Amino acid sequence: MAWAPAFIGIGAEKSATTWAWTMLDEHPDVCMSQPKELNYFNLDENFSRGDQWYRRHFSTDAECCGEISPLYMDDEGVAARIHATFPDTRILVMLRDPFDRALSHLFHDASVRYGTVADLTAEHLKSLVEKDDKYVRRSCYHAALQPFFRTFPKEQLGVFFFDDVKADGLDLAQRIYRLAGVDETFVPAQFNTKVNESQDLKPLAGVVMGASRLARSFPPTRMALQYVYRRTRIRERLISWLMVDRGRPHITFADVFPETTQRQLADDLIALNDLLSDAVPDSWLHDSPAGSLRRAA
């Protein structure tokens, strides 16, 4: 039988997909890709490099391999490319409250641009929203998941919610193991580890990120970086070292996004709930701008 990954993870939010990646990487029967996000099936990334390039990012003797790339949810052609290449692969979907996701994404980008989180204002965030629709687009989960539900049988799709980390992280991790097809009784050490969403970057971070972007712009240095990332955890350790916890200011979704955007996400969320047979967390529908809009209607 030809080699194929046991599962491919998608999700529009870094914290959620990072948590899932960590749980899977801890499992002794699972081999996760190196680096963490291959973005292979995005047409404008690495797909033209072919199957052999993709295969080199996994251990050659592992029975259960997988990867998680958040950007797969931001390309409507990814589902068809995965199915054409690995039709039996299971699809792991990690979702976070779409309103929280958009705001978290904004804070991250603003911290990179302005060099801080604690001192950001709503105006800082609005300036980014006006220039790019990705904050809203990547939170429209129903629109993003439709190609996957049209392409793959339902039994190959597993949709999980980041909220469940707080409610019962162990149960969530073991349900993910079940989808991956490995021993679901394994107990990961980090199942209740907090994923910090309120961190600033050290001043040196801008220099490091600039150097990384420059290195990736030249084929020889890009290949060298990819070689190192595949074989070490230096990237993850460097990112962790560059972060400092200062907390983020209290800015709500409604402080940044207009009501038309709130309605757009609310409508998509209701459609998602219908698609998943009423499985969306209640808090997403009631304790969010979606709930406020429904009560006002």
Could you tell me the CATH number of the domain that includes residue 78? 3.40.50.300
Q: Is 223 exposed, middle or buried (0-12, 13-18, 19+ CB in 10 A)?
A: exposed
Element containing residue 277 per DSSP (H, E): none
Question: Is 120 inside a domain boundary?
Answer: yes
H/E/C letters for each residue in 89-124?
CEEEEEECCHHHHHHHHHHHHHHHHHCCCCCCCHHH
The chain-wide mean pLDDT, for the chain, equals 84
Q: In what order do the strands lie in the sheet with 157-161?
A: 30-32, 64-68, 7-10, 90-95, 157-161
Closest listed residue to residue 146, CA positions, set 194, 91, 185, 188 = 91
Question: Is 85 inside a domain boundary?
Answer: yes
Q: Report yes or no: 96 and 13 within 8 Å, Cβ to Cβ.
A: yes
Question: Is 37 inside a domain boundary?
Answer: yes
Question: Is 215 inside a domain boundary?
Answer: no
Q: What is the residue range of 122's domain?
A: 7-198+246-296
User: What's residue 297's pLDDT?
Assistant: 54
| 205-227 average pLDDT score | 62
pLDDT bracket for residue 200 (50, 70, 90): very low
**25-29, 40-44, 59-63, 120-124: range with lowest mean pLDDT:** 59-63
Number of domains in the chain: 1
User: What's residue 43's pLDDT?
Assistant: 87
Helix (H, G, I), strand (E, B) or coil at 24: helix
Question: Is 283 inside a domain boundary?
Answer: yes
Q: Is the pTM of this model over 0.75?
A: yes
Question: Is 118 inside a domain boundary?
Answer: yes
Question: Is 80 inside a domain boundary?
Answer: yes
Q: Is 8 left (phi over 0), alpha (psi -120 to 50) or beta?
A: beta
- What sign results for the dihedral spanned by CA atoms 110, 111, 113, 119? positive
Judged against a pLDDT cut of 60, whether residue 203 lies above it is answered with no
Q: Report yes or no: 151 and 79 within 8 Å, Cβ to Cβ.
A: yes
Question: Is 221 inside a domain boundary?
Answer: no
User: What's residue 275's pLDDT?
Assistant: 94
Q: What does the pLDDT look like over 230-271, one tens digit per residue?
A: 555 565 565 554 554 456 788 899 999 999 999 999 999 999
Q: How far apart are CA 37 and CA 72, in angstroms?
A: 10
Q: How far apart are CA 37 and CA 163, in angstroms?
A: 22
For tokens 């406020």, the residue is 292
User: What's residue 220's pLDDT?
Assistant: 75
Helix (H, G, I), strand (E, B) or coil at 65: strand
